Amino acid sequence: MNGPLGPTLPEELLLLALDPQRGTPYCRNRTLEYALAGAALAELELQGRVTGQRGEIQVVNPLEPPDPLLAALMRSLPAPGKGRSGVPAQGWVRRAGQPVGGMYLEAAVQRGVLLRETRRFLGLVPYHRHPAGPQSYAVHVRERFAAAGRAGLPDHRSRALASLVAAAGLDRRVPGAGLTSRSAMRSLIHERWPAEAVYRNVRRDASDRSGRRAGRAGTVSSSGS
């Protein structure tokens, strides 16, 4: 993490998405997991290792990247070859979200970038918070994101990160995101296939929650009639 070439997109996104004092994400945990999986794909694309065609992930350079986390993710993708098809990006993000999220959180804790505090909901169910640790570079990541916003997102990396921020619905919460118009950030979602895969999963979850609420309301209404 934060090697000689700087932090990768999932590492940057993780620090943007977490409140550094409270250690809680500015979005749903599941949404953050999707966003981290999408960010990993976006980083692999920037490195010229994968591409997205017709909503499918295609490996174009099977050599593993030096970053061990990205290398592990590369192994989950089919190597290029005659007759081999790609992997649907939306499905991969949905399946990989939880393990990818856990992997990046664990790596950040191990390096002291984040701390891990265990709490209990209602005194029973344990859950974790991840405030900034002694080795955190969250301030640097936020300053760089804000500077890119002021400059109008001038490069591929800043646009890729902004598209993921918007896809996860973080554009209202992440400091510095307001320096670029929300409409401009949201327009990037459909230009960047990793961000669109994230966005589709977020929308699917929102639709599922709405359906469950409607079903419960209908049950209550029926029982009260």
DSSP assignment string, 2-43: -BTTB--HHHHHHHHHB-TTT--BSS-HHHHHHHHHHHHHHH
- What is the tens place of the pLDDT at every residue in 178-220? 666 778 888 999 999 999 999 999 999 999 888 777 677 666 5
Give me the mean pLDDT over the 44-73 stretch: 94
Residue 98 has phi, psi (to 5 degrees) of -65, -50
The average confidence (pLDDT) of the chain is 89
Please give the residue that has the higher pLDDT: either 198 or 147.
198
**The pTM is what?**
0.89
pLDDT surpassing 50 at residue 4: no
Helix residue ranges, H only, the chain: 9-17, 29-46, 68-74, 89-110, 138-150, 156-167, 182-189, 193-224
Q: Is 177 helix (H, G, I), strand (E, B) or coil?
A: helix
Retrieve residue 82's tokens: 């005659």
- Residues 17, 179: Cα–Cα separation, whole Å: 17
pLDDT, position 3: 47
pLDDT, position 219: 61
Q: Is 50 helix (H, G, I), strand (E, B) or coil?
A: strand
Retrieve residue 11's tokens: 């590492």
Q: What angle do CA 46, 103, 191 make, to 5 degrees?
A: 30
Task: Tell me the one-letter amino acid at 87.
Answer: V
Placement of tokens 């191990």 in the chain: 110
